[in-house]
Amino acid sequence: MLQLDHVKKSFSGRIVLKIPSFEFRNGIYWLKGPNGSGKTTLLRIVSGLLPFEGKVVCNDVDLRRQPILYRQMVSWAEAEPLYPLFLTGTELVALYRSIRKADPKDVDYLIAAFGVDNYIDSPVGTWSAGMTKKVALLLAFIGKPSLVVLDEPLITLDEHALSVVSGLIAERCQDPGTLFLLSSHQDADMSLLPAGEEIFVQNQTISHAISI
């Protein structure tokens, strides 16, 4: 469960987000909203990547007070991930695995599932945007995070990868302690994805929508 309390974020004096109070129960949430509405900012805040005013608590762990414990529970994949061009996918996976203390077998399973084994050993500089995106999503699934934050997980993915992501989300959601926060600014083919709740990010705040 993720709680936001008086979360406020400004950039150069301009308020981007002002959320009095909001609670995400475990499950899947789709953050919707136009460009510049603050979806990515919100996701970056709950991932512990941006400073903010207010309180963010996940499973009773306060991001400000227990930053390490909080970050142990969270994984994050960017919309347009960037990694050092000279690193190989294998090295990135090893870095994540060492940080998250994940089981090598689980990582091997993810590598096979995403079908990245044919290029994972090559440097990031040789990959296309879609290949990088797949690896970014793979990295987000490493370990057993309670809160998985995926910014625009559907863009640049091929159909196979889309079904893999969808399958993994459904699989992880069987664990009642897992919360997915996903963002999208367009209507994706939701038939491929597990059901979730839509949240609208607009007018600097967020509001519930309907189950899809």
Partner 1 sequence: MRYPYKLLFRSIVRPFYRENLSIFFFLFILFFGIEGEVDGAELWQFHYSLVQGMTRQGGYLWVVLVAWGWYAWKCGRFVTGLFRRPEYRWIAIYNNLGKGARFRLLLLVNSWLMLPVLLYGMIVAVIDCYDGFIIPVLMIWAYLAVLVVVLAGWQLFRLGDLYGWSLLRIRLPFISYPFVLLRQVVYKQWALWLGLKVFACGAVYAIALNNSFSDYDIAFPFLFFNFGILANGILVYGLREFEETSLSFYRGAARPLGQRLAEYALVYFILLLPELVILARLVPVHLHAADAFLFYCCAYGLVLTMHAVTFLRHFGKKEYFLLLVMIFSVQYFFIAGFGLAAMSGCLLGVAVISFLRGYYGYERVG
Q: Which is nearer to partner 1, 71 or 172 (CB)?
A: 71
Binding mask 137-176 for partner 1 (x = CB under 8 A): --x-------------------------------------
Binding mask 11-40 for partner 1 (x = CB under 8 A): xx----------------------------
Put the strands of the sheet holding 53-58 in their side by side order: 14-24, 2-11, 53-58, 61-62
Put the strands of the sheet holding 147-150 in their side by side order: 74-77, 147-150, 179-184, 27-32, 197-202, 205-211
Q: Give the total of residues touching partner 1 (CB under 8 A).
A: 32
Bin 101: left if φ > 0, else alpha if -120 < ψ < 50, else beta: left
Among 33, 48, 54, 196, binds partner 1 (CB under 8 A): 48
Residue with tokens 């608590």: 57
Q: Which stretch binds partner 1 (CB under 8 A): 21-29, 67-75, 106-114, 173-181?
A: 67-75
Question: Does 129 participate in binding partner 1 (rule CB under 8 A)?
Answer: no
Q: How far is the CB of 78 from partner 1 (least distance, A)?
A: 7
Q: What are phi and psi of 195, to 5 degrees?
A: -65, 150
Q: How do strand 61-62 and strand 53-58 relate by DSSP bridges?
A: antiparallel
CA distances in angstroms from 204 to 92, 110, 187, 199, listed in the order given: 35, 36, 21, 13
Binding site for partner 1 (CB under 8 A): 11-12, 47-51, 67-69, 71-72, 74, 76, 78, 81-87, 91, 94-95, 98-100, 123, 125-126, 139
